Amino acid sequence: MAGLPHDAADLTALGREWISAWNSHDLERVLAMYAEDSEMTSDRIPALGFEASGTLRGKDSLRAYWGLALQRLPGLRFELIDTFVSPDSVIVLYQNDRGARICEYLRVNDEGKIRQGSANHLVH
């Protein structure tokens, strides 16, 4: 059972820090925001040769996937557009350096660490 709701200001700050961490290209800074047993889902995961289901589990899997992604995208940069919060999650709407708009859904655990993430890409 989930704990008490998280403060909206804290979740908004988490979304802003998430953008800042990615823009730093410091993989360990990004991973520090995630729980050890976190899950990440994205259609980009199989495209890079990882899990065919599109979902990775655990920090070690995230480290391998994001490490490769950062190597392949040295100019990666995110521009925050907006954040949306619920009692246990934040959605980060941003634009990447290639002009694509993306919504990142980030659900947090009782300690405020990201336990579930999902990258949602606009389909034209």
Residue 83 lies in a domain: yes
Residue 108 lies in a domain: yes
Mean of pLDDT values over 46-59 = 95
Cβ(48)–Cβ(57) below 8 Å: no
Domain of residue 54, CATH code:
3.10.450.50
| Tens of pLDDT, residues 7-32 | 999 999 999 999 999 999 999 999 99
Query: What local confidence, expressed as pLDDT, does residue 123 receive?
Result: 83
Residue 3 lies in a domain: no
Number of domains the chain is built from: 1
Rounded Cα gap, residues 84 and 22, in angstroms? 19
Which residues make Cβ contacts (< 8 Å) with residue 89, sequence separation at least 6?
11, 105, 106, 107, 108
Q: Could you give the residue ranges of the DSSP H alpha helices within 38-115?
A: 44-47, 59-72
Radius of gyration over alpha carbons of the chain, in Å?
Answer: 14
Residue 59 lies in a domain: yes
Mean of pLDDT values over 92-121 = 96
| Tens of pLDDT, residues 77-106 | 999 999 999 999 999 999 999 999 999 999
Residue 2 lies in a domain: no
Residue 109 lies in a domain: yes
| Tens of pLDDT, residues 55-69 | 999 999 999 999 999
State the residue range of the domain holding 72: 8-121
| Predicted TM-score (pTM) of this structure | 0.93
